[in-house]
Each structure stands twice: as C-alpha cells, then as structure tokens.
Amino acid sequence: MQILNGKETAEIIRKELAIQVKERKDAGRKIPHLAAILVGNDGGSVTYVNNKLKSCEEIGFESTLIRYDDSITEETLLKKIQSLNEDKSIDGFIVQLPLPAHIDEMKVTLTIDPKKDVDGFHPINVGNMMLNLPGFVPATPAGIVELMRRYNIETSGKNCVVVGRSNIVGTPLSLLLGKNTDPGNCTVTLAHSKSENIKEICLNADILVAAVGIPGFITADMVKEGAVVIDVGTTRIEDPSRERGWRLAGDVDFKEVAPKTSAITPVPGGVGPMTIASLMINTLKAMELKGK
Ligand SMILES: Nc1nc2c(c(=O)[nH]1)N[C@@H](CN(C=O)c1ccc(C(=O)N[C@@H](CCC(=O)O)C(=O)O)cc1)CN2
Ligand SMILES: [Mg+2]
C-alpha cells in the first residue's frame, strides 16, 4: 500500500513554481498577485486562507488579504469584488467559502471576472472546463488529478466512483476523470446521498473518491481489494485529548481501509495541500492567460 503524500507533492510544486517566478523576476517581468477575501472567523477558513497566503510568500507571489466581519452586507462585498475585477495589479482572487447565510454565494461567484476567477467557480470557467477550452479548473479536483499524475496512478479504463456531487469537488472531478486525457479515461459513477446500494457501487470502484464531508463514511466493507482511495474530507471534530481541542477527520476510515488499498491519501496531508498548490498554479496561469 502506497501513501499518496499530498503534503510532499505540494512542496515540490511550490519549488517548481518558485523557479518559474524567479525566472520571470530575473527577466524583469511581473510576478503573479493573488488576493483573498475572507469573511468572518470560521477556524477552518482562517487556516486555509492563511495557508494560501503562506504558499504565495514561499513561491514569491504577491498576495493581499481582504478581511471582513461576518456582518458585512452583500452589497459591500459585491462592490469589493467589482473593484478587484478592475484592479490591474491583481491577477486573480478568491472569495473563501462558505459565506455567512445572508450572502448569496452564487451572486458572489457570478460577480467575479472569469479571467480572475482562479477558483474556477464561475459558469464561464465551468463551461470552459467541460469543453476543454482555456480557463480555470477548481483547485481540489485539479489537485487530485495532479496527485494521480505524479504518482502514475493507472486510470485509463478503470471504474471510478466519486461519492459526493458538490459544485466544487465531486461534480467537476467526475467530469475530469471521464475525459480523454491522462489521468482520465475512467468509467465514472457519481454517487450521492440519494444513491441506492452505495456499498455495492463503491465495491465496484478501482478508484474511489470520498467527498461527502461525513467523517468515516467509507468503511472497509465498501472498498475493493487493491483499490486507489482518495479522501477529500477534512471535518474538524471535537477531541479533548488534543491541546487545540479538535482533530481532523477524513471521509474514509483510514485505519480499516488503508490495508485493503493499493494507494490512499491521508488526512491531513493528502488532498488539502494539493488544493492550495493547484490554486497557486491557477494564479500563475491567470497572469499568463493575460499575456503578461
Ligand atoms: N474559495 C474557496 N473556498 C473553499 C475551497 C476552495 O477551493 N475555494 N475549498 C474548501 C476549503 N479549502 C480551500 O479553500 C481547503 C481545505 C483544506 C485544506 C488543507 O490543506 N487541509 C489540510 C489540513 C489543514 C487544517 O489543519 O485544517 C490537510 O488536509 O492536510 C486546504 C484548503 C472549502 N472552501
Ligand atoms: Mg476544496
């Protein structure tokens, strides 16, 4: 059984990007600039945005953090997005999700200029991904595919089951893995909360991706011997034995499932760091697509 080490792979990607940034700098060209909007104080969101900014610093990107209290109005947020759309110094930006309930996430996504939408959430980028046109692929699915590529995971002709149909992970990943690409060419099943016989569906998977946000959802009896298992879950659950009072839990019962697999991602240190590495790749691409 092989551990697909996202932490280590993300570090390699950051080093590769740092070399490209240095070459640009040395040639007197502009370096990429990412802005991140963070609303409120959700512990996970604060950590993820901090890690995104830390990655920028390590690679040599410029970065800007824009923070708002969770009482911010939708109008103020949309105005800020419009000003970032027009700000020539910013190559790409993200609005960290989830947003407070009084803000319409779809309205926010639709306000972002697709050329600066490095999260790849705007319908124009979703359509471009579907049609293999230049644009941005959401960071988590892109990170999973990149991890598979770097570990030479055989995907062609394999049965892949993606559990969870979110707009930012499950649905785009099922599309990517079904494409005529390498990695890709999978026979994809997109399973979800209404799927009947979920255990039988998962048992048919050569590649099983869990993206439901339910700790330990995938148990050993749902996994075929020798399968590749990708765990997208990062739920914080209370754990008084830890100094910080919580621990991260994946969607896969790692201890029971790992021995049955040929390869598996850990939590933490699997898909999460690859998500951030892919955002960095998209940020460089945002600048390149503009021809800067
Ligand atoms: N605007 C966006 N919002 C959200 C996205 C996104 O891609 N864009 N995805 C998720 C959160 N996410 C990125 O923002 C994300 C989640 C987890 C990790 C990560 O590195 N996890 C670490 C553990 C970190 C910890 O200690 O909690 C790991 O798995 O090793 C990175 C990014 C929802 N929102
Ligand atoms: Mg994600």
Residue 281: name the closest of 159, 153, 142, 121 by CA.
Answer: 142
Beta bridge partners of residue 99, listed in sequence order: none
Active site annotation includes 119:
yes
In this structure, the answer to whether residues 149 and 209 fall within a common structural domain is: yes
Using CA positions, which residue lies closest to atom 4 of ligand 1?
Answer: 97
Q: For residues 63 and 101, what is the distance between their CA atoms, to the nearest angstrom?
A: 27
pLDDT of residue 292: 65
In this structure, the answer to whether residues 88 and 167 fall within a common structural domain is: no
CATH of the domain at 217: 3.40.50.720
Range of lowest pLDDT (15-19, 57-61, 192-196): 192-196
pLDDT band per the 50, 70, 90 thresholds, residue 241: very high
Q: Does the pLDDT value for residue 147 go beyond 70?
A: yes
**What Cα–Cα distance (Å) separates residue 25 from each residue in 17, 60, 237?**
12, 9, 43
Ligand 1 atom nearest the C-alpha of 98 is 34
In this structure, the answer to whether residues 143 and 211 fall within a common structural domain is: yes
| Strand 235-238 with 246-249, pairing | antiparallel
Tens digit of pLDDT for each residue in 109-143?
999 999 999 999 999 999 999 999 999 999 999 99
Calculate mean pLDDT across residues 145-172: 98
pLDDT of residue 67: 98
Percent share of the chain, pLDDT over 90: 98
Region for residue 250 given its phi and psi (left: phi exceeds 0; alpha: psi -120 to 50; beta: otherwise) = beta
Q: In what order do the strands lie in the sheet with 159-163?
A: 2-3, 263-264, 228-231, 207-210, 159-163, 187-191
Mean pLDDT of the chain: 97
Tens digit of pLDDT for each residue in 28-65?
999 999 999 999 999 899 999 999 999 999 999 999 99
pLDDT of residue 290: 82
pLDDT band per the 50, 70, 90 thresholds, residue 289: confident
What's the ipTM? 0.96
In this structure, the answer to whether residues 173 and 261 fall within a common structural domain is: yes
266, 254 contact by CB (below 8 A): yes
pLDDT of residue 154: 98
In this structure, the answer to whether residues 143 and 234 fall within a common structural domain is: yes
User: How many whole angstroms from 140 Cα to the centroid of ligand 1?
Assistant: 8
> Which of 42, 80, 91, 96 is labelled catalytic?
96
Q: In which domain, by residue range, is 186 found?
A: 139-271
User: How many whole angstroms from 52 Cα to the centroid of ligand 1?
Assistant: 9
- Tell me whether residue 18 is in a domain: no
pLDDT of residue 95: 98
Residue 248, Cβ density class (10 Å: 0-12 exposed, 13-18 middle, ≥19 buried):
middle
In this structure, the answer to whether residues 161 and 257 fall within a common structural domain is: yes
Question: Which ligand lies nearest to the CA atom of residue 279 in the structure?
Answer: 1
Residue 167: name the closest of 178, 158, 175 by CA.
Answer: 175
Q: For residues 44 and 242, what is the distance between their CA atoms, to the nearest angstrom?
A: 16
pLDDT of residue 107: 98
Query: How many distinct structural domains can be found in the chain?
Result: 2
User: How many whole angstroms from 199 Cα to the centroid of ligand 1?
Assistant: 27
241, 235 contact by CB (below 8 A): no
In this structure, the answer to whether residues 251 and 145 fall within a common structural domain is: yes
Percent share of the chain, pLDDT over 70: 100
State the DSSP string of the chain.
Answer: -EE--HHHHHHHHHHHHHHHHHHHHHTTPPPPEEEEEEES--HHHHHHHHHHHHHHHHHT-EEEEEEE-TT--HHHHHHHHHHHHH-TT-SEEEE-SPPPTTS-HHHHHHHS-GGGBTT--SHHHHHHHHTT-SS---HHHHHHHHHHHHTT---TT-EEEEE---TTTHHHHHHHHHSSSSS---EEEEE-TT-SSHHHHHHT-SEEEE-S--TT-B-GGGS-TT-EEEE---EEEE-TTSTTSEEEE-SB-HHHHGGG-SEE--SSSSHHHHHHHHHHHHHHHHHHHTT-
CATH of the domain at 53: 3.40.50.10860
92, 116 contact by CB (below 8 A): yes
| Strand 92-95 with 33-39, pairing | parallel
